[in-house]
Amino acid sequence: MPVTARYGDPTATLSVASDVLSLQLAHRSVRKFGPREVTDDELAALIAAAQSAPTSSNLQPWSVVAVRDPGRKARLAALAGHQAFIEQAPLFLVWIADLGRARRLAERAGAPVAATDYLETTIIGFVDTALAAQNAVVAAASLGLGTVFVGAIRNQPEQVAAELKLPPHTVATFGLAVGTPDPTEHAGIKPRLPQGAVLHREQYDAAADAHIAAYDERLAAYNSRFGLPGNWSKRVLARLRGPESMAGRHRLRQTLGRLGLLSR
């Protein structure tokens, strides 16, 4: 059952079910793709699903760049930590937090949009972009396509902006590799924290951290099956150790300013 795999717990159950839930519970990142191209009709469906996501005040502050060109994929892969699956995937979507569209609208109308200079609006751009992209991921799964998000697209955002000819007041938030999963990939459904660790009722209860110990054991067992070291706690602490563990992204605030997202 997908829910037992999702939690790495053979006792985990859900008393409700649907086709959408089944797709979501079975989600895994795909980093090895088959040779079939993603069609333009499939791409159009993914974007229609993305545009059906909620958006704050109907601002729709995002865009997406569909990349198929092998040379451009190779250059983006190099900028995103030399992740080979970006080149292999038939389609690489780069999701853009786009405040430039509203800025251009204001220029044409001769109207002020000073609120675009504030952190709240930058956050809206990132949040709405993520909501849209996740809708596309579920839609892709429904079409038999696999995906993996690529946060490393933020490692060198100015170079990515130059490669994609992004206008001012925009930034690439993450990439999404899309393609048919290769059945030979050695991968599985990665267990998540127990619901008791993340679901709080009425008020936050930090005592829920008591669930982490059992989860560390489950994730360590999962990782060992795929030749990965460590449990969840160790990996979280390593990833958040300091600027040296952020692959250049510790400079993101200054970079956003140079790209025209002032985030005051």
Summarised one tens digit per residue, pLDDT across range 9-18 is 999 999 999 9
Q: Which two tokens stand for residue 42?
A: 């499939």
Task: Please check the confidence at residue 65 and state whether its pLDDT lies above 90.
Answer: yes
Which structural domain range is residue 117 located in? 25-189+247-258
Q: Which two tokens stand for residue 247?
A: 């692959």
For residue 172, the domain's CATH number is: 3.40.109.10
The pTM of this model reads 0.96
9 falls within a domain: no
**Confidence class for position 1, pLDDT limits 50, 70, 90:** low
Task: Please check the confidence at residue 39 and state whether its pLDDT lies above 70.
Answer: yes
d(CA 141, CA 104): 35
201 Cα distance to chain centroid: 27
- pLDDT at position 156 is 97
Q: What percent of the chain has pLDDT over 70?
A: 100
| Cβ-contact 3, 12 below 8 angstroms | yes
Q: Which two tokens stand for residue 87?
A: 């080149």
Summarised one tens digit per residue, pLDDT across range 68-100 is 999 999 999 999 999 999 999 999 999 999 999
238 falls within a domain: no
Q: How many structural domains comprise the chain?
A: 1
Q: Which two tokens stand for residue 79?
A: 């900028």
- pLDDT at position 2 is 84
Cα–Cα nearest to 145, from 256, 37, 10: 37
The position carrying tokens 């909620």 is 54
- Mean pLDDT, residues 251-258: 96
Burial class (CB in 10 A: 0-12, 13-18, 19+), 100: buried
- Mean pLDDT, residues 195-205: 98
Cα–Cα nearest to 171, from 149, 146, 154, 150: 154
